[in-house]
Amino acid sequence: MSASRREFLTEVGGAGLGGVILATASLWADDNPKPNNPKPKPPASMIFETVFTEGLAHLSYLIGDKESGRAAVIDPRRDVEVYVELANKHKLTITHTLETHIHADFLSGCRELADRTGTTKVCLSTEGGAKYGYEHEKLKDGDKIDLGRVVLTAKHTPGHTPEHMSYLAAEGNRPNTPFAVFSGDCLFADSVGRPDLLGDDKTGGLAKQLYKSIYEFYLKLPDDLRVHPAHGAGSPCGANISDRLVTTIGYERQNNPALQFKEEAKFIDYVLFTAPPEPVYYPRMKKENADGPPVLGRLPTCPALASKAFRAAVEKPGVQLVDNRQMLGFGGGHIPNALNIGPRAELSIWAGWMLDPKKPVFLVLRQDADLAEVQRQFLRVGFDKFGGYLLGGMEEWDNDGLPLVGLAQMPVETLNAALPPKDLQILDIRTPGERQDGFVPGSTYIFLPELEKKAGKLDKNRPVVVYCDSGYRASLGAGLLQRLGFKDVQNVPGSWKAWKARGYAVTVPKERKKGTDTNLG
C-alpha cells in the first residue's frame, strides 16, 4: 500500500467499526523530498497499523519491525484478538504492550494481551505516583522500548492524568530524531485532554501540568512530526475532538483552538469551560484499570433462552433488559421494561452511562449471530455478566403471544405542525453542548443520563415526545420514560438532523454555558 501524506490524512477519516488502518513506512514519505534537507521518516522495515474502535472513538496502535520480528501495542482495547491477528499477519511477536495512561473510558487490554500471547511485557508509567494491582514493568521518563529498527521513547506529559506518557517513535540508529509521537489523551486533533477527571481538588494542578506538557513539550516538536492520539471525534475525553484520526504538530499549532492561548490562565479557562459532562462510569473504569481488569480468555457465557424461559428470567428483580434492535423495530413492539440501546458502536458508551455492571444483562438481538459483537461492545466498558439472550429474537416472542409494548414515532413534520406546544411536552435529551448550539422551540431540556432522576420535571399525564440528534438516544430515553410509568411517549426518528434538514425554526441561547452544565432548563 503506497500513498502520499495528504492521501493518508484523507483516508484515515473513513475507518469503520473496529476497523484497521494500515500505514507502512511509505506513507510518511514527503510529497516533494529535498535531498539537501532530509527529514526523519520511519525505516522501510517498519510495520504500523492503527485500530479504530468506533463508539468509544478509541485509537490503538501496533508498531514493529519486520526484520527483528518484534512489535509493541499501544493502548489496547479489552477484546485483543485484532492485535494478535495483525501480529500473525505480519509474522511479528508482540513483545511489549504500553499504556499512555490509566484510562477512564474503556477497560485496558494489556493483561488480556499478555495472557493471550505469553510473550508480551506490560509496560506502565509509574510517574506521578501511579500504582497498579498487577504485574508490570515500570516506565519512567526517557525510558526506551527497543523494537529493532524502531525505538519508542517514553516522555512524561502529565495533565490529563498525573502519570500520562507520550511515546516518540524514531529509527533505532537515530533515537533522538523522532518521526512520530503517540500522544495518548494529551493532544488530540483540534483538542487537548481534559484535566478534570480526578476530582475538583486535583483539577487545578493537573490543568497547569497540561499547559506545561503542551507548551513545553509538544509545541517544541517539529511541525512535520506526525501525531497519533488515543481518541477521535465523539470521545468525552476532550472537547470537540476532530474526526481526523492523525494530524501533525504544525497543523495543531496553527488550527487547534486550545493551542491559541499563550497565557496559562486563558488556556485553563478554555479547556475547563468546553469540557463535556463526565460519564458516570469513568471513575469505575479508572479504578479497574489501575487494579487490573480480570483476564477473561474468551467471551463470557450468555445462554440462549427460549421465549417463555426468557420471560420468566427478565421478570425477576435485579436484572437489566437491553433491546439491541434498530429504533423502528423497537417502536413496532418490544418487551415491557426494555431499554433500546441499538445496534451502533455507541452501545459501549450508553451501556456505561445507563446500566449497572453488577446486575446481569439480558439481550434481545436483531439476529442471534450478533451476540459476539454485542458482547464485545459491553466488555469494553466492563460489563461481563450476561443472563442470556432471547433465542430466535422477537419473532419467537411474538409467535408465543407474549406481552408487547409499542413506542409511537412522531416524524419531524408532525412535530413542527404541533408548534407552539400546548399540551405536548417536547423533551431534548442531548448533551449540553448540543443543546446550546440550538434546539426545537418550546422544548424542555433533560440530559439523558439524568432523565430517571429528573423525570419529575415532566407531567406523566401529558404526552411526551423525545428527540436527540438522530433518534438513537431518543429511543433509549423514551423507553426509559415508559419504564417509569409515562403512558403517552413518542420518539422522533431522525430527530435534530431531520429537523435541521427540513429547515424548521431553531432557538439559540443568548449566552453559552460550561460544557459540563446540564442544568440548562
User: Could you tell me the pLDDT band of residue 17, with boundaries at 50, 70 and 90?
Assistant: very low
User: Could you tell me the pLDDT band of residue 39, with boundaries at 50, 70 and 90?
Assistant: low
Break the chain into its structural domains and give their ranges.
Answer: 5-28+46-291, 304-399, 409-501
Helix orientation angle between 371-379 and 347-354, rounded to the nearest 10 degrees: 60
pLDDT at 6: 32
User: Could you tell me the pLDDT band of residue 391, with boundaries at 50, 70 and 90?
Assistant: very high
Decide yes or no: CATH 3.30.565.10 for domain 304-399.
no
On the question of pLDDT at 485 being above 60, the answer is yes
Decide: pTM greater than 0.85: yes
Grid cell at residue 186: 494529551
On the question of pLDDT at 10 being above 70, the answer is no
pLDDT at 31: 35
Q: Are strands 320-323 and 361-364 parallel, antiparallel or unpaired?
A: parallel
Using an 8 Å Cβ cutoff, are 489 and 466 in contact? yes
pLDDT at 152: 97
The pLDDT tens digits for 223-233 are: 999 999 999 99
Grid cell at residue 437: 448550539
CATH class of 409-501: alpha beta
Residues 500, 506, 510, 515, Cα dihedral to 10°: -40
Using an 8 Å Cβ cutoff, are 376 and 370 in contact? no
DSSP string, 343-375: SSTTHHHHHHHH--TTSPEEEE-SSGGGHHHHH
Using an 8 Å Cβ cutoff, are 250 and 195 in contact? no
Using an 8 Å Cβ cutoff, are 188 and 210 in contact? no
Q: Where are the beta strands (DSSP E) in 147-213?
A: 150-156, 165-171, 178-184, 187-188, 191-192
Superfamily of domain 5-28+46-291: Ribonuclease Z/Hydroxyacylglutathione hydrolase-like (3.60.15.10)
On the question of pLDDT at 36 being above 90, the answer is no
- Asked if the domains 304-399 and 409-501 are classified in one and the same CATH topology, the answer is yes
pLDDT at 44: 80
Using an 8 Å Cβ cutoff, are 216 and 172 in contact? no
**Residue pointed to by grid coordinates 415508559:** 482
The pLDDT tens digits for 250-281 are: 999 999 999 999 999 999 999 999 999 999 99
Residues 349, 353, 358, 359, Cα dihedral to 10°: -90
